[in-house]
């Protein structure tokens, strides 16, 4: 597996989840060691290339050679299909792409709720915008998961004899 060359992935350095997956890309040799950079430590060359507002909400993958930027789920697909070319057809399949894009936005807009980290907000950080739609979907998923889990447990207890 050959790492994606001449690309820099910008990640939210204050988000534990973002740090884990970006460093996992390096460990898995999907990106070079110099292929990841924290948003707040981005070089001037990289910062001048990106749309900073969009990069707060969607991860930016910068092609430093061509000065082009890929955002969001497309950046993930670029990384994964470079390492696993057999995934290219799945990326082009509209229902799969639509589902992955929705999942990506759900996690991206709620990443500071899912994995808050030590620093909640500071100037110049990569805090995502507050998006009421994605926050509401996240809350609904939590509530429905809790409800289904409760139903499962209560149903299982009916059928399991517990000695007293």
pLDDT in tens, 117-163: 666 555 556 666 677 787 888 888 888 988 888 888 888 777 776 56
- Judge if 22 and 99 occupy the same domain: yes
How many C-beta atoms surround the C-beta of residue 31 within 10 A? 24
The whole domain housing 56 covers 7-114
Residues 144 and 109 in one domain: no
- Tell me the whole-structure pTM to 2 decimals: 0.74
pLDDT at residue 72 above 60? yes
Question: What span, in angstroms and rounded, lies between the C-alpha atoms of 90 and 76?
Answer: 13
Q: What is the pLDDT of residues 25-65, one digit of tens each?
A: 999 999 988 889 888 777 777 778 888 788 878 888 999 88
Residue 70 has pLDDT above 90, yes or no: yes
Does one domain contain both 88 and 40? yes
**Is the domain of 38 the same as that of 75?**
yes
Total domains in the fold of the chain: 2
Is 124 within a domain?
no
Rounded distance between C-alpha atoms, residue 44 and residue 31, angstroms: 21
Query: Do residue 96 and residue 136 come from a single domain?
Result: no
Phi/psi at 90 (5° precision): -65, -40
Are residues 109 and 135 both part of a single domain?
Answer: no
- Residues 38/90, Cβ–Cβ less than 8 Å: no
Q: What is the pLDDT of residues 83-103, one digit of tens each?
A: 999 989 988 899 999 999 988
């Amino acid at each position: 597996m050959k790492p994606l060359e001449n690309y820099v992935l910008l990640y939210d350095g204050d988000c534990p989840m973002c740090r884990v997956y970006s460093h996992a890309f390096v460990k898995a040799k999907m990106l070079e060691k110099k292929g990841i950079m924290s948003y707040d430590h981005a070089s001037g060359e990289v910062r001048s290339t990106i749309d900073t507002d969009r990069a707060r909400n969607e991860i930016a993958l910068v092609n430093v050679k061509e000065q082009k930027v890929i955002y969001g789920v497309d950046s993930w697909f670029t990384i994964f299909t470079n390492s696993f070319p057999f995934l290219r057809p799945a990326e082009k399949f509209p229902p799969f792409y639509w589902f992955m894009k929705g999942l990506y936005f759900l996690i991206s807009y709620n990443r500071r709720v899912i994995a808050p980290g030590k620093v909640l907000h500071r100037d110049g950080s990569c805090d995502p915008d507050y998006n009421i739609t994605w926050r509401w979907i996240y809350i609904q998923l939590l509530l429905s998961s809790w409800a289904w889990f409760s139903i499962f447990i209560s149903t299982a207890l009916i059928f399991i004899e517990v000695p007293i």
